[in-house]
Amino acid sequence: MSRMFFFGYGYTASYLAQLLRTEDWAMAGTTRNPDKVKKMWAQGVEPHIWAGDSPLEAPRRIFRNVTHILHSVPPLATGDPVLKNHFELFSEIAPKLQWYGYISTTSVYGDTQGEEANESYELNPATSRGKLRLQIEKRHQQLHKKFKLPIHIFRSGSIYGPGRSAIRRAIQGDPRLIHKEGHVTSRIHVEDLAQVLRASMANPNPGAIYNCADDLATGVDEPLSYAFDMLGKEKPPVVKFEDVQAEITQNMSSFYSETRRVSNDLIKSELGVKLKYPTYKEGYEALNQARMQRNQPA
């Protein structure tokens, strides 16, 4: 039996788990939240409480029969808690693993200034977030080269889906549409990201790197504006980024400092992925339909 271990059983991992449950996989994963234990058992995932500040308890026993690992734990300011606490373990079990996926971000490219970045594009992150992600990628690549860890790196755009979209912001009455001329970013629906991961698992290519994004990079204000139109709600006024820059958070200001457009050609040509939601418009229409059926916010 194939056995998956999720480092960080969060949003993306739960959608991949949905696919694996239909194929009778054995699954386990970590969570920091004891309140999620019952839900994980219900979803067929054996829970392990792990705060990230020390190694898992009895890790060699846990990983004795694991064939696949997905690492989606966000980095801490001090680095990656997964590698920090399990680097030696991974060097030991690497030859036995069939697949190891690390979900990184497109922030490793830095500001592409309108150019479309493929997986061989120069890496030049300017933000602390992007620099940290690049360091973690390099640590994984060291494990791959030295110990044959079957690493696959997925540079994901912004992940959206049920419970995580501008539809909820529009329903709640987001007070403004912030527009920065020329600023675009890539995104992907969580279901499409899950199918990219599953396609890679079916066709492993250790050492591979994949951009995970849909076909349309846009400004942040465009999907929010679309959500207001779709809901038939009056839109708030559009404000220029320069006029509100002093008011917004440091993280948001950092986000707007880089324009990033990435190519998704490789997930299509090598993995054969056909996006269920090629742009945010198809994704938002599906989210809104589901919202109306449930009579709940998307």
The answer to whether residue 184 is domain-embedded is: no
User: Over the chain, what HEC string results?
Assistant: CCEEEEECCCHHHHHHHHHHHCCCCEEEEEECCHHHHHHHHHCCEEEEECCCCCCCCCHHHHCCCCCEEEECCCCECCECHHHHHHHHHHHHHHHHCCEEEEEEEHHHHCCCCCCEECCCCCCCCCCHHHHHHHHHHHHHHHHHHHHCCCEEEEEECEEEECCECHHHHHHCCCCCEEECCCCCECEEEHHHHHHHHHHHHHCCCCCCEEEECCCCCECCHHHHHHHHHHHCCCCCCEEEHHHHCCCCCHHHHHHHCCCCEECCHHHHHCCCCCCCCCCHHHHHHHHHHHHHHHCCCC
What pLDDT is stored for residue 293 in this prediction? 86
In a domain, 223, yes or no: no
Which residues form the domain of 61?
3-160+189-214+262-277
CATH of the domain at 137: 3.40.50.720
Q: What is the mean pLDDT of each run of 10 residues along the chain (298 residues)?
A: 96 97 95 95 97 91 96 92 94 94 97 94 92 96 96 97 92 84 94 98 98 96 94 90 83 83 97 98 95 76
| Residue 22 within any structural domain of the chain | yes
Q: Is residue 148 part of a domain?
A: yes
pTM of this structure: 0.95
Number of domains in the chain: 1
Residue 138 resides in a domain: yes
